[in-house]
């Protein structure tokens, strides 16, 4: 008994040592992250942007590059998916989800490495990993087929190069930062702004020459403002600068009308105030309450050393992100939380120091003070919400696939199907849903009289529980009830109506 128990005990001890090491903890956290991503990707429906990317990727994988370009005119992401699909033999949708999961895991590992190089403590690895695993907006992004996964991976690598360059200045690290930024720009164009702004902001804080400092700050503020309209025109308006500016002018005109009775001359100041307010709101929402609270908590302790480097990075990326967000909001009035994920990652790194410090304070104190206990409770609640609220493991999607299968078996004229649901059409292998019908059914209280329903072979209506009147309206105009219905547990329905009668019903 003694002879056999010894080696087993030694092996268990060795495994325990390995798993509790920094490398072992990193592997465990990465496996959990990968498992969550795989589970979410197996459940959630493809998103609308993802349909464009996968459609273009399928065309590219089949060698139809011209058609792929027409489907989506920013080629890097669809071509990458299509190339991976062609090499592996996987369908483009499966290939996209596999690539996104790999990129997400790589981002996770890079950020853990950044934290380790700044602190070289196992507890920091655990704290950073927990903050990333419970990040609401990153969890919300797990199952989406979007370019952000590759953008975040390369930009996180850029953060790692910055950390190493702060520790030991090197031309190789600087070039690494620029190269990863250029690769990230192949997926999201704002990476170029970070490539310019972060070094300028770093220069402004490190130089002792006031003239260089002020010049760097001026360039950092003015360069994006000058370049942004042309970038927006290239990205969104096929090179037409007038189209981009006309949208802004339309908002200016609307604001003049609103302010006309009181102060017609202050419309521009009002517009800028709105943009700045939305910028602050958008960034705070994107960064998240937990990183902000923990970063602020530890800020007073991070005056020197490696922890201060983490705060420097957070400041530079935060200021650069604020400039980019303000410009984007000026032109588009749209700033989704996922646009600020890079800034949130930069803030999460010092927040990991804050979480580790707060944990130690709670562990050592016999009875932590009210502030410490309140902060602990708030962080636990918010992290729990970020995990449960962000990870979509209960999406009700079976009825969408059932409707798609029925359409795939029964449609004879693919171009004569009117639908307000892109997912159903995608899984059925049919053209995209009608954008006007989708918008009208989402916003209008009635769809009666909007279309000549009878001219279509089928009308596919996705209707929420509170819009059941749409079913009766279309039934009255067609003179018949739906030929088949599908419903989920939440009460959402997909109703399929028969339009023209010259094609046989299977």
Q: In this predicted structure, what is the pLDDT of residue 1?
A: 44
Q: In this predicted structure, what is the pLDDT of residue 13?
A: 61
Per-residue pLDDT tens digits for 265-288: 788 888 889 999 999 999 999 999
DSSP 8-class letter at 467 = G
Per-residue pLDDT tens digits for 462-498: 998 888 889 999 999 898 899 999 988 888 899 999 9
The rounded distance, in Å, linking the Cα atoms of 392 and 40 is: 6
The rounded distance, in Å, linking the Cα atoms of 178 and 240 is: 29
Tokens (6 digits) for 500: 């023209």
Residue with tokens 């302790």: 301
Strands 458-463 and 417-419: parallel
Q: In this predicted structure, what is the pLDDT of residue 285?
A: 95
Domain ranges of the chain: 25-390, 398-498
The arithmetic mean of pLDDT across residues 92-104, rounded, is: 97
Q: In this predicted structure, what is the pLDDT of residue 8?
A: 53
Lowest mean pLDDT among 241-255, 424-438, 481-495: 241-255
**412 Rama sector, left if φ>0, alpha if ψ -120 to 50, beta otherwise:** alpha
Closest CA to 145 of 426, 335, 394: 426
DSSP bridge pairs for 496: 460, 484
Q: Between 170 and 254, whose confidence is greater?
A: 170
Lowest mean pLDDT among 135-139, 186-190, 305-309: 305-309
Confidence band for 232, pLDDT divided at 50, 70 and 90:
low
Confidence band for 443, pLDDT divided at 50, 70 and 90:
confident
DSSP 8-class letter at 415 = G
What mean pLDDT is reported for the chain?
A: 87
pLDDT above 80: residue 263: no
pTM (predicted TM-score): 0.89
The rounded distance, in Å, linking the Cα atoms of 227 and 162 is: 24
Closest CA to 306 of 124, 181, 172: 124
Burial 247-267 (b: 16+ CB within 10 A, else e): ebeeeeeebbeebeeeeeeeb
The arithmetic mean of pLDDT across residues 237-254, rounded, is: 73
pLDDT above 50: residue 422: yes
Q: In this predicted structure, what is the pLDDT of residue 506?
A: 46
Strands 417-419 and 484-487: unpaired
Q: In this predicted structure, what is the pLDDT of residue 305?
A: 60
Per-residue pLDDT tens digits for 218-228: 887 777 777 77
Detail the DSSP E strand segments found in 147-228: none
pLDDT above 60: residue 71: yes
Tokens (6 digits) for 76: 């890097």
Closest CA to 497 of 473, 481, 476, 477: 481
């Amino acid at each position: 008994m003694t002879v056999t128990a010894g080696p087993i005990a030694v092996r268990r001890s060795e495994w325990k040592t390995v798993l509790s090491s920094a490398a072992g903890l990193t592997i465990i956290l990465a496996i959990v992250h990968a498992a969550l991503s795989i589970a979410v990707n197996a459940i959630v429906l493809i998103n609308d942007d993802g349909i464009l990317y996968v459609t273009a990727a399928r065309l590219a994988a089949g060698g139809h590059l011209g058609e792929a370009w027409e489907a989506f005119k920013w080629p890097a992401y669809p071509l990458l998916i299509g190339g991976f699909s062609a090499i592996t033999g996987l369908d483009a949708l499966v290939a996209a989800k596999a690539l996104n999961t790999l990129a997400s895991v790589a981002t996770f590992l890079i950020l853990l490495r950044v934290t380790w190089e700044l602190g070289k403590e196992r507890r920091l690895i655990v704290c950073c990993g927990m903050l990333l695993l419970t990040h609401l907006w990153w969890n919300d992004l797990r199952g989406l087929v979007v370019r952000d996964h590759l953008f975040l991976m390369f930009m996180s690598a850029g953060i790692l190069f910055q950390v190493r360059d702060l520790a030991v200045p090197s031309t190789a690290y600087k070039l690494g930062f620029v190269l990863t930024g250029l690769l990230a720009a192949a997926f999201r164009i704002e990476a170029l702004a970070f490539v310019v702004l972060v070094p300028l902001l770093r220069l402004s804080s490190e130089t002792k020459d006031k003239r260089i400092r002020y010049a760097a700050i001026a360039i950092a503020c003015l360069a994006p403002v000058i370049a942004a309209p042309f970038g927006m025109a290239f990205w969104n308006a096929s090179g037409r600068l007038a189209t981009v500016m006309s949208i802004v002018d339309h908002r200016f005109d609307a604001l003049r009308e609103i302010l006309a009775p009181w102060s017609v001359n202050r419309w521009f100041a009002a517009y800028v105030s709105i943009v700045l307010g939305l910028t602050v709101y958008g960034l705070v929402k994107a960064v998240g309450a937990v990183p902000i609270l923990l970063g602020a908590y530890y800020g007073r302790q991070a005056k020197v050393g490696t922890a201060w480097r983490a705060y420097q990075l957070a400041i530079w990326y935060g200021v650069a992100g604020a400039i980019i967000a303000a410009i984007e909001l000026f032109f588009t009035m749209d700033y989704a939380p996922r646009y600020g994920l890079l800034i949130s990652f930069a803030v999460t790194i010092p927040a990991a120091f804050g979480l580790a410090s707060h944990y130690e304070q709670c562990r050592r104190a016999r009875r932590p003070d009210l502030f410490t206990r309140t902060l602990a409770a708030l962080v636990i609640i918010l992290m729990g919400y970020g995990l449960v609220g962000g990870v979509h493991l209960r999406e009700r999607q079976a009825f969408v696939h059932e409707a798609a299968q029925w359409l795939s078996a029964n449609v004879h004229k693919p171009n004569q199907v009117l639908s307000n649901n892109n997912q159903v059409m995608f899984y059925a292998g049919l053209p995209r849903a009608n954008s006007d019908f989708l918008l009208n059914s989402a916003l209008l209280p009635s769809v009666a009289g909007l279309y000549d329903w009878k001219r279509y072979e089928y009308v596919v209506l996705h209707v929420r529980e509170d819009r059941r009147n749409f079913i009766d309206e279309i039934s009255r105009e067609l003179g018949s009830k739906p030929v088949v219905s599908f419903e989920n547990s939440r009460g959402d329905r997909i109703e399929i109506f028969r339009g023209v009668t010259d094609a046989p019903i299977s």
